[in-house]
Amino acid sequence: MVVRTFFAAVLLLGVSISPVHAACPGGVSTSFTVTGGVNKPSVFYLNNLQQLPTAQENVTYFAAGSVVSQSFTGALLWDLLNNSPVGGIVTNPSVKNDILHKIVIVTGSDCYQSVFGAGEFDPFFGGSQIMVAYAVGGQSLGNAGFARIVAPGDKAGGRFVSNIVNIDVEDAGSYPSSPPSKPQW
């Protein structure tokens, strides 16, 4: 019985220190990476963000049971992914509207993630003004890190990711990695 309890404790300890948790140190971010299906994977710091065209949005959303209104300043996610240094989302010109197959996964230092369809913020399609904010009310983001994803138009702030550490562009066709099973009608 003691041996069984010991192995159960070791198993639980192993689960609690999994690589996923080790990759999420928490805390205030000072940089983030752009990875995946882009022309040039890059690292961004505050000064890189401030060099992109500036966007400002007054955003009202529900958070923690109350209405929040804030004014964010930052760079549009579309501009960040399609200007220097990233140089664009990689698409296949032989696939009709391939941009619509791309997803963007934004991860915070606490491993909180949100997923956006690239067509959602592509000016030719959805045109949503999703931004990577670096200021709120004219001030730094403080404990929210140097960068926070903001989705104006969302009714709730659930897709707002603070302390961004990674923005990853992927092809939705690769998720899931195996083809879905055919529905049984």
CA-only gyration radius of the chain, Å: 19
pLDDT digit string, tens, across residues 81-90: 999 999 999 9
Domain with residues 25-172, CATH architecture: Alpha-Beta Complex (3.90)
Closest CA to 74 of 56, 51, 88: 56
pLDDT digit string, tens, across residues 46-71: 999 999 999 999 999 999 899 999 99
